[in-house]
């Protein structure tokens, strides 16, 4: 009887482990995204500071032209970034949504199958207990 109990305890631990893995994966993915965003922001700041330093170094005589150039470069970079983000976002959103839906469906099926297996295991445990009682009764009779 302890063997069935140990198996059910193991099943419970494994189910909890799967739940914890899901939680950790969601947090990990979010943390990685935040880290990448921080890295990108840092790189962008460094690049802008470098351009600003170069502009200041050029001297006062070219300040007006350099400011216009800086504004144009900034506008061009922002436009380029917007186009890249738009293109990537449109395509990657569709692909990511489809992949996420497929994997969620697969995970849902696996969970449903595990639930069915647990229900079958519960019936098997109750059958085993009933059979043990019947065997004990037969020995006494």
- Spell out the domain ranges in the chain: 2-140
What is the full per-residue pLDDT of the chain (141 aa) written as tens digits?
A: 557 777 778 788 878 877 777 777 777 766 776 776 767 667 666 766 776 776 667 665 556 666 776 777 777 777 777 776 776 666 677 788 888 888 888 878 777 777 777 787 778 788 888 888 899 999 998
What's the pTM value of the predicted model, to 2 decimals? 0.44
Task: Say what the pLDDT of residue 139 is.
Answer: 95
Torsion, Cα 70 73 79 80, to 10 degrees, reads: -150
């Amino acid at each position: 009887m302890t063997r069935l109990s140990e198996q059910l305890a193991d099943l419970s631990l494994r189910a909890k482990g799967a739940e914890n893995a899901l939680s950790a994966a969601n947090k990990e993915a979010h943390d990685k995204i935040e880290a990448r965003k921080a890295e990108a922001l840092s790189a962008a700041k460094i690049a802008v500071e470098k351009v600003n330093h170069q502009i200041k170094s050029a001297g006062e005589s070219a300040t007006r032209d350099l400011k216009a150039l800086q504004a144009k470069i900034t506008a061009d970079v922002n436009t380029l970034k917007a186009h890249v983000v738009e293109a990537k976002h449109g395509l990657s959103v569709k692909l990511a949504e489809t992949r996420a839906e497929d994997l969620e469906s697969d995970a849902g099926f696996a969970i449903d199958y595990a639930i069915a297996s647990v229900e079958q295991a519960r019936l098997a445990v109750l059958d085993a207990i009933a059979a043990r009682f019947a065997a004990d009764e037969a020995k006494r009779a």
